[in-house]
Amino acid sequence: MNLQQANKMSTQEISGFSAKVLMALQASATESLQQAKRINERIHDALELKYKDLASVSRIHAGKDTGSVHFEDGQIQVTADLPKRVTWDQKQLAELAKRIQGTGEDPLQYMDIAYKVPERKFTAWPDSIKSAFKDARTLKMGRQSFKLTQGDEQ
């Protein structure tokens, strides 16, 4: 059984295979995925090398530092996107929110405020504190995964 054959089958049919065949398919799929990621990364790097200067000049002509620019290479339309990645210092924002509130204004008019509780902290709390937060917590399950190994590989 190979990946091309398995690709033509339904999930139901594949689930009927032995654990050994499923393990081999999983290993083969993982290797193919890793190889595709490596090739994709190499292609990305090649595109960056080939077009970074042209994209930079195009952004300068467009009067912007980030975002998308379009240009042609022969008959191929190239879109180069340089997204913004903005981060905010949380301590400074908290201080600014206090200052805004101190002037009598609502900081929510200027910023979004989000509260988070790390799960590792929650599980370490005593029950008396957990119970106060319990109704604010929603537990959603992630996607279950399975790793198949030979008995002696454990």
pLDDT higher than 60, residue 154: no
- Predicted confidence band of residue 146 (pLDDT cuts 50, 70, 90): confident
Q: Residue 30 corresponds to which tokens in the numbers above?
A: 């993982």
**Residue 86 CB: number of other CB atoms within 10 A?**
6
Tokens describing residue 79: 């879109």
Is the entire prediction scored with pTM above 0.85? Answer: no
Q: What confidence score (pLDDT) does residue 48 get?
A: 94
Alpha carbons 124 and 116: distance in angstroms, whole number: 15
What are the backbone dihedrals phi and psi of residue 76, each rounded to the nearest 5 degrees, phi first? -100, 125
Domain ranges, ordered by start, for the chain? 3-83, 90-136
Task: Give 121's contacts (C-beta < 8 A, 6+ positions apart).
Answer: none
CA 20/CA 60 separation, integer angstroms? 57
40: tokens are: 């994709």
Residue 68 has pLDDT above 60, yes or no: yes
DSSP state of 109: G
Cβ pair 20, 39 in contact under 8 A: no
Of the chain, the percentage scoring pLDDT greater than 90 comes to 86
The beta strand positions in 3-153, using DSSP E, are 67-73, 76-82
Q: What is the pLDDT of residue 153?
A: 60
Q: Mean of the pLDDT values across residues 47-68?
A: 95
Confidence of residue 137 (pLDDT cuts 50, 70, 90): very high
pLDDT of residue 141: 86
State how far Cα 121 lies from the chain centre.
Answer: 23
Q: What is the pLDDT of residues 6-20, one digit of tens each?
A: 999 999 999 999 999
101-116 confidence digits (pLDDT tens): 999 999 999 999 988 9
